Amino acid sequence: MSKKESAAAQATGVMEEPNRKRLVEHVEVTCEAFLGSGTITVGRLDALASGDVVVLESSPADPAEIRINGQTVARGEIITVDDRFAIRITEVG
């Protein structure tokens, strides 16, 4: 961006898209993979022990959600990469 363009952008408060992206590309956010949810009673929650199973209302065929700071931004299928879980993105937005 030239000095003239920079001054115009500052005056109008509008920045070019590539410059806007550069301002935030280093910002860290929390990324979560959400598999599903289930409902249990407080009594059952209190009694949970290692090895117990909590059933989720979603199917293994349902896509997992990728959430950034609590907002769903993408969906995908769960896969394994070496000895870790990962999500292959199938939908963004």
Q: What is the pLDDT of residues 43-81, one digit of tens each?
A: 999 999 999 999 999 888 899 999 998 899 999 999 999
Is the pLDDT at 13 greater than 80, yes or no? no
**How high is the pLDDT of residue 51?**
97
More confident residue, 1 or 88: 88
> Looking at domain 29-92, which of 3.40.50.360, 2.30.330.10, 3.10.20.30, 3.20.20.10 is its CATH number?
2.30.330.10
Q: Are 38 and 55 a contacting pair, CB within 8 Å?
A: yes
Mean pLDDT of the residues in the chain: 86
Q: What is the value of pTM for the model shown?
A: 0.62
**How high is the pLDDT of residue 14?**
63
